[in-house]
Amino acid sequence: MEEYIVNILKGSVLTMEVALGSLAVAVVLGLLGATAKLAQSKPLNWLAGIYSTVIRGIPDLVLMLLIFYGGQILLNKGLELVGYEEYIEINPFLAGVLTIGFIYGAYMTETFRGAIMAIPKGQMEAGYAFGMSKSRVFFHITVPQMIRLALPSFTNNWLVLIKATALVSILGLPDMTMLAKQAASAARDVTPLAPMLFFLFTGAIYLAITTVSLIVLKQLDKRYSMGVRRGEF
């Protein structure tokens, strides 16, 4: 009994790794997507528009299966073309992180776009007037203000992302959900309540993760809105 519980707890480390890894990918893609959507170039606008619309219109699970199984074939076909004969198996951890990151990058695109648009234009213009370069204005003027405006929707995306990591169990990654499912069927002889117990335990860990996230992000929100006066009523 204890071994299963310890196992699931170990699996929660993998869940966190997948979640944080994909969050990093999603933030980078989101920033790229948001800048592309707001850029002065029509093709870039289109590309980012298609990315954020199509990805958000398809279930995560279908996209994961497509990228995981399809990517496998695509990679090997591509390697064959350049003359590499051996079959390469994609690391499921990497595939999971990249896929979830790719999906939530689309949600982050919308989050960051909204936040950037909410910053008064004069801020950026003032930066340019001081002779700052484009990237300098972006990282020193836009991003610090964007964080505050993006935080509420970022919090939402993060909470949905953590829960989406449960799907990597379907790709065969031994995260909490998969270990719980295995334990549920393996421990039936030990206790008749086993099937329920392990899922309840796993659910409780997810709940703990989301609760801690909420508390931390609330503190961050306080920190970043220090100089802002909210409408008081």
Side chain identity, residue 194: A
Per 3-state DSSP, the chain is made up of helix, strand and coil in percentages (nearest 5) of: 85, 0, 15
Site for another protein, residues 16 to 55, rule: CB under 8 A:
54
* Cα–Cα distance list, 228 to 85, 153, 154, 224, 232 (Å): 60, 18, 19, 9, 12
Nearer to another protein, 22 or 35 (CB): 22
φ, ψ (nearest 5 deg) of residue 209: -60, -45
Site for another protein, residues 196 to 215, rule: CB under 8 A:
196, 199-200, 202-203, 206-207, 210-211
CA distance 46 to 37: 8
Per CB under 8 A, does 185 bind another protein? yes
Per CB under 8 A, does 58 bind another protein? yes
Nearer to another protein, 16 or 143 (CB): 16
Per CB under 8 A, does 167 bind another protein? yes
The SS3 of residue 34 is helix
Nearer to another protein, 73 or 228 (CB): 73
Residue 81 Cβ vs another protein, minimum distance, rounded to whole Å: 16
Residue 38 Cβ vs another protein, minimum distance, rounded to whole Å: 22
Nearer to another protein, 199 or 224 (CB): 199
Q: What is the chain's Cα-based Rg?
A: 21
Residue 72 Cβ vs another protein, minimum distance, rounded to whole Å: 8
Per CB under 8 A, does 72 bind another protein? yes
The answer to whether the CB of 88 falls within 8 A of the CB of 79 is yes
